[in-house]
Structure 1
């Protein structure tokens, strides 16, 4: 069954959330998992693309936008079906992915922004209703 985790940040800053996504994508890729980052919109996808190039000067994270290369080790997309199965989904959208079953692991990154907190609490409840056992990780 898919492992679901909620990584909780202490800040409400959107940039901290994107940095956490970069760090988790790097970690997932280094562990040999295909990584799909589900962004909330094109603007966030572009911002994350740029951040992945520069967030760690000594490290390259091989990534692509879904439209430019869905087979990349780290793919940035929206509601696109992942080309690689059984990998890691980093969900930055406020709702659950329609392709949840395609992943062996799902990470929801939560910050302290009120609307996002509300949406993530609802997602936590929905995961439980669907038979998953989500866990919380404080960052």
Structure 2
């Protein structure tokens, strides 16, 4: 079974995803970022370059020749992502094939559409028997 962590009440979903990506890759994990929307993928890529002024998170798009050896890979198709360690889902739906990952991270913003979509994903993960945990970012500091 896959470990699934929901981080909800994220004031800026992509910024929180950047923090979680940096934390995971800094801890030696290999991170696949699933961004089915090309605009979100480009924005996330740009944010990884600049969200921490004195840090760098090595990352490439899934089609890069360096994807297999880079700690963070961003892609719009799950099957194009080269590793199966950590998946950060920036889509609104449950991606087919997520089960191959050890850990799935879901970041949920405060808007009703985001929360409703996340509730649906949470139910589906639960129905499939995955290990779920929820983290309220309103009750945490530093993220």
Q: TM-score, normalised by structure 1?
A: 0.90
Deviation above 6 Å: which 4+ runs of structure 1? none
Where in structure 1 are there 5+ consecutive unaligned residues?
Answer: none
Where in structure 2 are there 5+ consecutive unaligned residues?
Answer: 138-143
Residue matched to 1:70: 67
Answer yes or no: is the 8 Å Cα contact 2:10–2:16 preserved in 1: no
Residue matched to 2:2: 2
- Output the aligned Cα RMSD: 1.2
1:32 to 28, 33, 52: 28
CA deviation vs aligned residue, 1:75-104 (integer Å, no higher than 9, x gap): 11112322112x111111111121212210
Q: Structure 1 residues 34 and 10, CA, compared in 2 at 3 Å: closer, same or farther?
A: closer
- Tell me how far apart the structure 2 counterparts of residues 70 and 98 of structure 1 sit (CA, whole Å): 21
Q: Structure 1 residues 10 and 24, CA, compared in 2 at 3 Å: closer, same or farther?
A: closer
Residue matched to 1:96: 94
- Are 1:49 and 2:45 an aligned pair? yes
Q: TM-score, normalised by structure 2?
A: 0.88
Give the aligned length: 134
